[in-house]
Homo-oligomer: A and B are copies of this chain.
Amino acid sequence: MKHDTVELLKAHGINPSSQRVRIYDYLVASKDHPSVDDIFLALQKEGHLFSRATVYNTVKLFLEKHLIRPVKVASNEMRFDASHSFHGHFRCEACDKIFDIPIEELSLDGATEHQIQETNVSFSGICAECLKKGKDD
C-alpha cells in the first residue's frame, strides 16, 4: 500500500481504505484511461476481489473530491484521468484506445460570462497504429 497515495487521499479528505488506494494507483499507473469495468477486472485478476459497485462508488468519490477528472471522449462509458496536467485526449474509433495529446491551453473569446471550472478537449479518428494495420479505412 503506497504511502504517497495514502497521504494524497487523506489530503483530499478521503479515508484511504486499501481498495481506494489500489483503485487510485491503478488509475495513475494506467495510461489508457480505463473504464470502471477495466479497473474492476484488472484488480479482480490481481486477487483483490471486490465489486463493481465499490469501483463506481470510489471513482465517484474521487471525482467529487477533484482527485480525478472525467474524460469525455467515449459516449457510453465513464473514463477517468488522474493526471492534473492540461492535455487533450484522442480516441481511436477502430481500436477504442485513448491517447493523451499535448495541446496548448486555449484562450476563450466570449465565454467569460460563465464560470468555467473544467475544460475538456478531445479528438477522435484513427490512431497511427490502426492506420498502419489498415484495421479501418
Contact = CB atoms under 8 A, between A and B. Distances in A.
A57 interface: no
Copies of this chain, complex-wide, total: 2
A104 B115 CA distance: 19
A1 to B, nearest CB: 30
B107 A118 contact: no
Interface in A79-110: 88, 90, 92-93, 99, 101-104, 106-110
A122 interface: yes
Interface in A95-137: 99, 101-104, 106-111, 113-128, 131
A55 B78 CA distance: 24
A22 interface: no
B107 A127 contact: no
Contacts of A116: 90, 123-125
A118 B128 contact: no
A92 B106 CA distance: 19
A51 interface: no
A120 B117 contact: no
A75 B123 CA distance: 16
A126 B117 contact: yes
Interface of A: 70, 72-73, 75, 78, 88, 90, 92-93, 99, 101-104, 106-111, 113-128, 131
